[in-house]
Structure 1
Amino acid sequence: MTLLRSALDTSAADFAANRDAMLAKLAELDAEHAKALAGGGPKYVERHRGRGKLLARERVELLLDPDSPFLELSPLAAWGSEYPVGASVVTGIGVVEGVECVVIANDPTVRGGASNPWTGRKTVRAMDIAWENRLPVINLVESGGADLPSQKEIFIPGGRLFRDLTRFSAAGIPTVALVFGNSTAGGAYVPGMSDHVVMVKERSKVFLGGPPLVEMATGERSDDESLGGAEMHARTSGLADHLAADEHDAIRIGRRIVARLNRRKAGPEPAAAPADPRYDPEELLGVVPGDLKVPFDPREVIARVVDGSDFDEFKPAYGPSLVTGWAALHGHPVGVLANAQGVLFSAESQKAAQFIQLANSSATPLVFLHNTTGYMVGRDYEQGGIVKHGAMMINAVSNSRVPHLSVLMGASYGAGHYGMCGRAYDPRFLFSWPSAKSAVMGPQQLAGVLSIVARQSAEAKGRPYDEEQDAAMRAAVEEQIEAESLPMFLSGRIYDDGVIDPRDTRTVLGLCLSAVHNAPVEGADGFGVFRM
């Protein structure tokens, strides 16, 4: 039998403590998500409604198939910055007429939907996901263009969005623009470069330069409607393919466009009917200790995520600090790599490299469950080849072509973050639990390294070392690195695709696997040179 057997004691005091700590973190997360949901705040929400308009998330909900899920992406974008949480745009993956699509919706209650630097980064991430997984893109447009005071950070990278729309079209990935209000300046190119365009009568305004700019540039005086109104574009310029009577009609037309796309998934269907795990996902709240220095068994997570808690472990007696094995998730075959004791040694690195090669030979997607402090250091380990073995694992991850999905459960430090397919290694999706932390190294280790270097420098120069100043430096560095390691900080910078409730892990991964199978699933033909 390959069924995992849980050893988790849900009546134990440490389980209760872990659960309470996780619930407290989830409460903090909910409070931050609420800021994104609030948009520009009550004043601007009411002003928008007073104009008879739908809010961004209401448009998304009406667009999607009834009772279908919406996997929102990067909801905490811009957290900790001078810009509002959420970055004035809603992005995610949803089902429209049975077709999985990436949806990008401007939030006009935040500075009229103007794009700030984080809006661009969040939108680029959503477009990358659509490109990698061959998902149609639907833009729900109402934006005044760039947030002009921050134009220096928007102008150059922002041009990529328009380029990407044309690349999508050339690659046969459909793009649809539903224009609900202003789409001005650079924003005019969103409908201009989309395959299908719907505009709303007396509402949509699409022009490169509005009346004030036109008058300044040419001396010509124009009104909004003749310069860029929906009827003008439907009857004169030809930019609008469809003229909608109102917002609901625009969404109806958009759904009909998607229904006529004749889309078929290029990847394989699920190999088997999904089976619920044998253990309650609610118990995931108590798995991860509040202190990440305390190890936990990732098999307890796997048992509550994969189909039927059925897991064929690969090399269980070799490199035990990394659990590898085969399972199914919502019917899709997957390979799982999960950190067990935090540190990656040479054996774990070699085991991972072989496992990744096997997954590529069978075109099986990989799921990485992070809880690693990095690769082991020390004289014996260096002499034993930890550099070349760690490089072997990173080589395998870098050149693997099957889809990678990553979840940061606990620690994800240093090169271990890279070897476990962190953001820099382009996993198709990466999510964090509220318990996760990620940085070059732990706060105490980083502060300690700086202290040792400073002490050695003082000794080399024959100067006395100020212990009081050293203690203050270490405390300040530890506080800074701790703050910069937290999941909301990392998610705010779009280093993940969202911070999720551990109980939702199976559902989120299932949605991601369904999305990645819109594209062909193929393994790598080669991996370059492995140092043996």
Structure 2
Amino acid sequence: MMPVLESRVDTSSTTYLDNHQGQSAAVAALDEQLALVAAGGGARYAERHRARGKLLARERIELLVDRDSPFLELSALAAWGTEFQVGAAIVTGIGVISGVECMVIAHDPTVRGGTMNPYTLRKNLRALEIARINRLPVVYLVESGGADLPTQADLFVNAGRIFHELTELSGLGIPSVALVFGNATAGGAYVPGMCDHAVLVDKAAKVFLGGPPLVKMATGEDADGEALGGAEMHARVSGLADHFAVDEHDAIRIGRDIVAHLNWRKHGPGPARDVEEPRYDPAELLGIASADSRVPFDPREVIARIADGSRFSEYKPLWGTSIATGWASIHGFPVGILANTRGVLFSEESKKATEFILLANQTDTPLIFLQNVTGFMVGTDYEQGGIIKDGAKMINAVTNSTVPHITINMGGSFGAGNYGMSGRAFDPRFMFSWVNAKLAVMGAQQLAGVLSIVGRAAADAAGREFDTEADARRTAEIERQITDESHSFYVSARLYDDGVIDPRDTRAVLGMTLSAVHSAPVNGRRGFGVFRM
């Protein structure tokens, strides 16, 4: 049996209580935003939608997924802080349908008719990417007015990628199902056209390349909407509809039946160990995670609250101690864990992490990266000691590793440390941020300070007087800018992660994503690229 971690958390300490207060406030702010996401276009538009005899997007999802099964919503804060509605008029996530884990993509017609803006597109494409990489069947719940025309310049070219992804999924043998509840016009008509299965709802679905107004303008024809693109026409005449649904509930029933008959099998192994609850309460993570991202904390306390039985077999515990590496299981799935302990990665940590990643690939073991990293160490001694070469080894190993990576930003992810710890650019299967986490090239104070030093040096080199007051104003402005841009909401709004999560939900999120990644084969790389020794 693996060693059991012994928690040393004092829940009555000032540090714990201060952290708990700060993290609780951050979680409350997250809950407030998620409530706005769930509300869609608001009560007025929800009632208008219901008055037409229609279900809301989330009600459709609730009826679609298996009773009492979880739904892992992704990218919920997309478009936060922009001119568009938070959530980006689309709901994406992983749910179990007729016993099969699927990617669900649902338009929200209460938000500007479900039209697609640039953030909707990013969120849609990320969901399709996750489905392709992890081999998850896709179920589309379609009701969209098409592109948000004022932003077409930011949409048209990249929107074609939706069609590319859908046809690639089919080519890879990954099924897709479109349940069409309303409009699917212009380019949107190709969603049911390119899915493997299409279900259209009578007197509601309208699937056409050009609606009656466009047909009138283009050809002079006075076209009837039902004859042009209604469910019955597509079921009886064009053949686009594989299934004719009498209403929305019938469409959802048919969709569940289609998934039930996919004969779907996972290609990865199932849980290899018994599921054992952690010995310590995950609720304590609110007091463990630092309220101030500049203050490190022991990630072993986190592992003790997410790993089965709080068991963790640590690898090289006495060497390269700024990173903890070791083996555990989460919801029965064996994993390797890399977790930053003091933020900075030195040469020893880089080499230790590289070796550990190689070992995980030798044994086909998925890797969990728990980020709280300020970057690789700088300074004359470290540069002369080869920090660039050693950091490159770690980045090489992360890049060429083929086992699934799942990354959690627990506190901070800065500089090249983000790359070494499998940040977004290195294609982790999933990446989430704790609500109080930060992401930037460096901390706000450090970045502002660097620019101040550079400005002073430039003034000295030019032989002109340095304006101290202007520098102070500029420094304060830059600090505010970087603080805002490194906030977890800002980061998630731009799809740099797959969602902001309450720390207490980490084990559940990891369990669902680990199950999802095992839908595809789990194979490590047996040969790596050149390592700079």
Does TM-score exceed 0.5, indicating one fold? yes
Deviation at 1:292, TM superposition (A): 2.2
Which residues of 2 match residues 155-174 of structure 1 at below 5 A? 155-174=156-175
Partner of 2:320: 319
Identity of aligned residues (%): 66
Q: Partner of 1:467 in structure 2?
A: 468
Q: Please give the alpha-carbon distance, in whole angstroms, between the structure 2 residues aligned to 1:398 and 1:208.
A: 42
1:94 aligns with 95
What secondary structure does 2:207 align onto?
Answer: strand
User: Which residue does the alignment assign to 1:214?
Assistant: 215
Deviations 1:87-142 (A, max 9, x none): 00000000000000000000000111111110000000000100000000000000
Alpha-carbon distance, 1:220 to partner: 1.1
Residue number in structure 2 paired with 1:237: 238
Alignment of 1:102-251 (within 5 A): 102-251=103-252
* Other structure's SS at 1:509 match: helix
Give me the whole-angstrom Cα distance separating, in 1, the residues matched to 2:252 and 2:295. 51
Matches of 1:515 and 1:289, distance apart in 2: 30
Aligned to 1:65: 66
1:419 aligns with 2:420: yes
CA distance in 1, matches of 2:506, 2:293: 19
Code of the residue aligned with 1:360 in structure 2: it is: N
Residue number in structure 2 paired with 1:456:
457
Structure 1: gaps (5+ residues) = none
User: Which residue number corresponds to residue 37 of structure 2?
Assistant: 36
Cross-structure match for 1:371: 372
State the 1:35 CA deviation: 1.3
Task: Report the Cα distance in structure 2 between the residues aligned to 1:242 and 1:294, rounded to whole angstroms.
Answer: 57
CA drift of 1:56 comes to 0.2
State the superposition RMSD in angstroms. 0.6
Q: Distance in 1 between matches of 2:464 and 2:35?
A: 53
2-structure distance, mates of 1:152, 1:63:
35
Q: Deviations over 1:378-399 (max 9, x none)?
A: 0000000000101110110011
Name 1:447's counterpart in structure 2.
448
- The C-alpha deviation readout for 1:355-400, integer Å capped at 9, x for no partner, is 0000000000000001110000000000000001011101100110
Letter in 1 for 2:254: I
Q: Whole-Å Cα distance in 1 between the matches of residues 289 and 67 of structure 2?
A: 35
Corresponding residue SS for 1:410: strand
Deviation, structure 1 residue 174: 0.1
Q: 1:453 and 1:199 mapped to 2: Cα distance?
A: 62
* 1:300-379 map, 5 Å: 300-379=301-380
The amino acid across from 1:388 in the alignment is K
**TM-score of the pair, normalised by structure 2:** 0.99
1:25 corresponds to which letter in structure 2? A
Q: Distance in 1 between matches of 2:171 and 2:445?
A: 50
Report deviation, 1:434. 1.0
1:384-423 matches, within 5 Å, as 384-423=385-424
Q: Give the AA of the match of 2:156.
A: F
CA distance in 1 between counterparts of 2:26 and 2:440 reads: 19
Rounded Cα–Cα distance in structure 2 between residues aligned with 1:444 and 1:201 = 59
Report 1:258-337 matches (<5 A): 258-337=259-338
* Matched AA of 1:227: L
Following superposition, the deviation at residue 290 of structure 1 comes to 1.8
Cα distance in 2 for partners of 1:391, 1:226 equals 62
Distance in 2 separating the partners of 1:60 and 1:291: 37
**1:27 counterpart = 2:28:** yes
Question: 1:273: how far off?
Answer: 1.4
The answer for the alignment partner of 2:528 in structure 1 is: 527
- Alignment-derived partner of residue 253 in structure 1: 254
Secondary structure of residue in 2 paired with 1:336? strand
CA deviation after TM superposition for structure 1 residue 432, in Å: 0.5
Give the Å deviation of 1:293.
2.3
Distance 1:215 1:29 in 2: 47
Residues 248-306 of structure 1, C-alpha deviation per residue, up to 9 Å, x if partnerless? 00000000000000001100011111100011101111012222222211000000000
2 CA distance for matches of 1:290 and 1:178?
Answer: 44
1:414: Cα distance to partner? 0.3
Q: Distance in 2 between matches of 1:335 and 1:132?
A: 20
TM-score, normalised by the number of residues in structure 1 = 0.99
Find the residue that maps to 1:67 and give its secondary structure.
coil
Which residue of structure 2 aligns with residue 503 of structure 1? 504
Q: Distance in 1 between matches of 2:257 and 2:367?
A: 35
Specify every segment of 5 or more residues in structure 2 that has no aligned partner in the other structure, as ranges: none
SS of 2:284's equivalent in the other structure is: helix
Task: Using the TM superposition, give the Cα deviation of residue 513 of structure 1 relative to its aligned residue in structure 2, in angstroms.
Answer: 0.3
Amino acid at match of 1:482: T
Task: Return the alpha-carbon distance in structure 1 between the equivalents of residues 296 and 427 of structure 2.
Answer: 27
Residue type matched to 1:133 in 2? N
Return the letter of the residue paired with 2:97: V
Deviating beyond 3 angstroms after TM superposition, the runs of 4 or more aligned structure 1 residues are: none
Amino acid of the structure 2 residue aligned with 1:265: K
What is the rounded CA distance, in whole Å, between the counterparts of 1:293 and 1:263 in structure 2?
Answer: 46
Q: Distance in 1 between matches of 2:3 and 2:43?
A: 54
Q: Residues of 1 paired with 2:67 and 2:531: CA distance?
A: 50
1:329-351 deviation per Cα after TM superposition (whole angstroms, max 9, x unaligned)? 10000000000001000000000
Q: Indicate the SS of the match to 2:241.
A: coil
- Provide the rounded CA distance (Å) in 2 between the counterparts of 1:284 and 1:31: 20
Q: SS where residue 355 of structure 2 aligns?
A: helix
1:525 Cα shift? 2.6
- Partner SS, residue 81 of structure 1: coil
- One-letter amino acid matched to 2:383: E
Q: Distance in 2 between matches of 1:495 and 1:519?
A: 23
**2:19 match:** 18
Residue aligned with 2:406, SS: strand
